[in-house]
A and B are shown apart, each in its own frame.
Chain A
Amino acid sequence: MRLTVNGTPHEVRIPARRLLSDCLRHDIGLTGTHVGCEHGVCGACTVLVDGMPMRSCLLFAVSLDDADITTVEGLADPEGGLSPVQQAFNDCHGLQCGFCTPGFLTTITAGLRAHPDPSEDDAREMIGGNLCRCTGYQNIVASVLRAAELQRARS
């Protein structure tokens, strides 16, 4: 089957039961997508499928033949500069151990497209499906608001 991941086309031969999370990590070699609970609760494995955030552990790769996937590796600009969301996490100490971070970054990247000027409540709603065991979320909420600010300044 074919998948475009972060703009690069890939052809993989996989069994039907291969989860997208495992396909990305093991078949394509992109280990930025983290696998936490593996049953759709923690949000760590969230990637963008045709621009929409989805849990990669709840998708069979084979079902996404020809889809366009963005993982955390695809968020920085091609020269390696941090995206507004990545920069905001850096500025606001939005992570500690970093395990959940790829899921937050992809979710917030898509969330800010829908809500470019989020309130604090919008920010909490945006990250409501993602678990973090380090930060207590306060700095992640601050990161969402900071990312929106950076994004507006850049555009």
Chain B
Amino acid sequence: MGIETEGLTRKFGNLTAVDGLTLSVNDGEVFGFLGPNGAGKTTTVRMLCCLISKTSGEARIGDYEIGRSEDALKIRRLIGLVPDNVGLYEDLSAYDNLDFYGKLYDCAETQRKENIQRFLTLLGLWEKRDVLAGTFSKGMKQKLAIARALIHEPKLLFMDEPTANLDPESAKTVRDFILELKKEKRTIFLNTHNLDEAQRICDRIGILSTKLITTGTPQELERALSSGESTRKTVVLLQEQATDVVLAGLRQLSGNVTPEGNKLTIELKDPEKENAAVIEAITKAGGHIQSVTIAGASLEDVYLKLVRERES
């Protein structure tokens, strides 16, 4: 189940929260939505979940149109939402929380019971099924909120910063679970601040700052930034510390060579072409190479560059 938007816009009075968003999320894809606070990520999710209306533009989920009142219930039936605030019923047990939502999504009793057991077990909460949700830790609550969003087995899952405020271990469990869901070919729309998480989990990434700045795979985005720079870096690991002879040989190729223990960082205009000369220079000078890598821009570099450009 895919998502298509065309010029999707939402205004709150004079404030434009989302401005002309045009994007496409493919069926079975994990799409990461990155952006600073107030970029419009949550507003986008709320529009796509038919929780708030759009001001203008078009959006479709599968065959259904966002903004058509007769489609709203059908869309909500197809999707699952993990909101930024987990919003559990703290006075109900984990089981009762899921049972309530299963009933609202019209899951038959047998399917409901099976799904509750399956998801609570997968998330390590089955033993705690009769414990009040209010007594759970943040990580457990987040896991329960994810199980709640999956109780009716939606094809499309919206997750609004699912690992925010979690300790590293809980965050890892949640990330691993998202990767499991990815294997099941569910479409996942993931709002996140966490660049590392986006890089590890997402097939494609969109960077939003009220307007959509760019989309692409993490690798495409990194390459796009790297190709725009006048110089790039080659990192060489030697088996020993670089000698003066090695450094002198390299400085004939590049004006900027930085030694750091047995690691050498060399700025080059075109590493793909010039690395052969680098290797030859080191070998001739008696150096022994362990590895040579081209250091590209990280997703963090891409994100910061694009968001800063947009803000300025």
Chain B binds chain A: no
Listed in ascending order, the chain A residues whose CB lies under 8 Å from chain B are: none
